[in-house]
Structure 1
C-alpha cells in the first residue's frame, strides 16, 4: 500500500506510515482508511474504546473492529494516526469477538539474522500484552519463555534463559521507577532485562533506559513491538 506522511507533533520528525492490512473473514484484505493531511495525536491516555476502529470490507461489506493505527516515533511518543469514520449503513455486521491479526512482517536491520515474519497476537487484555511480548521474545531467539499465571511482587512478567522482561499494559507512559526496578532485578539475577510498554515511556524513563542499556519496546494493539532506543535496535539486530 502507499505510505502516508505523518509528522510527530512532539519532535517534528516526518515519517512515511503504511497502514496495517488485516484479513476479512471473506478472505479479502482490509485496512483502516487513513485521513491524509490530518495531524497525528500523541497518546497520553488510553481507553479501550479509542484504541479500536471500525473498518468495512469493500468486497463483502462486512464491518469489523480492528486496532486503531498507531506509530511509534523514535523520540518516544506514541502517535494515533487519524482514520476516516465508517458510515453506518444497513446490514453492517459487528462480530462478538475480534479476529486474530494477520502476520505482520517486522523487517530486521540489514545486519540482522534471517527470521521468518513475526506473527503477532492482537492485544485485548493486559495478559494479551504479556503474551504478545512472549511471542516476540521467542521470535528474537529466546528459548523457554515463561509467563507466570500470577504476576509476582517483583513485577517480572516473563522469564527465559538469561532474560527477564516486564510488560506495562497501563494507559499511562511507563515511569522512571519501573525501568530502574527492572534493571536492578536483572542486575541482581545476572541476566538481561527487556521492557515492553503499551503507552510509551516518560522522558526520564526513556533517558534512563539509554543510560542503563535497557532495551525499550513499545507495542501497539496489533501486538507488534517496535524498538525505541539503541539497545532495543541492537537486540533486534543481533538477537540474544
Structure 2
C-alpha cells in the first residue's frame, strides 16, 4: 500500500534525516493493521531530495485519499460501512472500542539496527549478474563489476595498495576489497575514508568497502558515522549492502 499524497501541502527539501520524518504510521486498508511505512521522497539527478507530504488521520493512520479534516467531516460514511458488515471498511481490529473523544495511542516505533532509506522511484537498472568467488582475485573482479553496475565506469586497480586487500578506483569512487578470512576492523574503514578524502582534491570522491568475512561492531559504527557504504560478499558473488549508506548507494547509483 502507499499513503495518499496530501495535495494541499507543499513538498519540503530534505536537509537532515531523522527517524520521525522518514517514517509515517499508516493503516493497511486490507487487514486494518497499523505499521510504519517509508515517507515518500522524490530525488533529482542534481542531488536535491524533496519529502512529499502524505494525508494521515488524527491517530497517525493514512487516510483513504483525504486529509484529516476531510476524514472527520465524512465520519458518518465510515460508521455506515462498519454497520453494513464490510471488514475492509472498518477500523483496525483491537481488543475493544476506544472511548469517544479519546484517540488510540499509536505503538512506539521500534528502531532497528539497519533501516533502508526510502526511495519512491529507483532508477531502472538490469539485474546484477554474479560471478562465483573462489579466490581473492575473483572477489576483486566481483567488486569491480558491481561498481560498474552502479554506474562507476573505467574501474581499475588503485596505484596505492592498502596494507591488506586491494583497492579499486573509478571516477568519483575509491573502493577497497578485503578477501581475508577476518572481519574488517575500524582501522581499515578509517584508512579507506582518509585516503578518499586525501585523493578528492576539487572533485568529491566517494568510498565503499567490500568484505568477505564481514565487519566488527566498531567498524560498522564508524562507517555509519563517516557515511561509508559497507557490503559483504559470499561465494555466490552477489554483494549485499549492510548499512544505510550502502542502501542509498544502491538506490541512487553513481
User: Shorter-normalised TM-score: what interval?
Assistant: 0.5 to 0.7
User: Normalising by the residue count of structure 1, what TM-score does the alignment of the two structures yield?
Assistant: 0.52
Contact 1:146-1:158 within 8 A present in 2 as well: yes
1:134-145 equivalent positions in 2, closer than 5 A: 134-145=144-155
1:223 is aligned to 2:237: yes
Unaligned ranges ≥5, structure 1: 1-73, 77-107
1:53-83 CA distance string (max 9 Å, x none):
xxxxxxxxxxxxxxxxxxxxx969xxxxxxx
1:24-173 equivalent positions in 2, closer than 5 A: 111-147=121-157, 152-153=161-162, 156-173=166-183
Unaligned ranges ≥5, structure 2: 1-111
1:198-228 CA distance string (max 9 Å, x none):
1110000000000000000111111100110
Question: Rg larger in 1 or in 2?
Answer: 2
1:153-210 CA distance string (max 9 Å, x none):
4665201001110001111110110000000000111111110011110000000000
Aligned to 1:177: 187
Aligned residues: 135
- The correspondence for 1:206, drawn from 220, 234, 244, is 220
Distance of 2:120 and 2:185 partners within structure 1: 32
Distance of 2:229 and 2:195 partners within structure 1: 14
Identify which of structures 1 and 2 has the higher relative contact order when contacts are C-alpha pairs closer than 8 Å and 6+ apart.
1
Aligned to 2:246: 232
Contact 1:112-1:236 within 8 A present in 2 as well: no
Post-superposition, which runs of at least 4 consecutive aligned residues in structure 1 deviate over 4 A?
Answer: 153-156
* Greater helix share, structure number: 2
